[in-house]
Amino acid sequence: MNRRGKLGFYKEFLAERDEILRHKDVESEKVGCDVGFERALVDWIEKHRSAWREGRFRQQGFRPGFQPRETSNGTVRPGRA
């Protein structure tokens, strides 16, 4: 994988982590104590990740139902849905 491909994956990782941390803050506020990262992570994945990723792909110009697939040079192209 080339440097550009690694940076793209890292940016997506950071964006996803930020969403999980926001979710953790919201859930912690609801119950009045810190729910912890792992609990927030699992809850966010189960409830929100699919829709969040779909929205991210649309923002980047990919069609609905897009499944990313990494190529040997680190670029992302449509996979089979």
The reported pLDDT for the residue numbered 80 is 47
- The first and second tokens of residue 63, run together, are 């069609």
Picking from 3, 17, 5, 4, the residue whose alpha carbon sits closest to that of residue 68 is 5
Residues paired with residue 78 on neighbouring β-strands, in sequence order? 68
CB count, 10 Å around CB of 23? 19
Residues paired with residue 69 on neighbouring β-strands, in sequence order? 77
**pTM for this one?**
0.70
Three-state SS for 69? strand
The reported pLDDT for the residue numbered 56 is 86
The reported pLDDT for the residue numbered 81 is 44
Tens digit of each residue's pLDDT, the chain (81 residues):
666 667 788 988 999 999 999 999 999 999 999 999 999 999 999 999 999 998 888 887 776 666 666 666 555 555 544
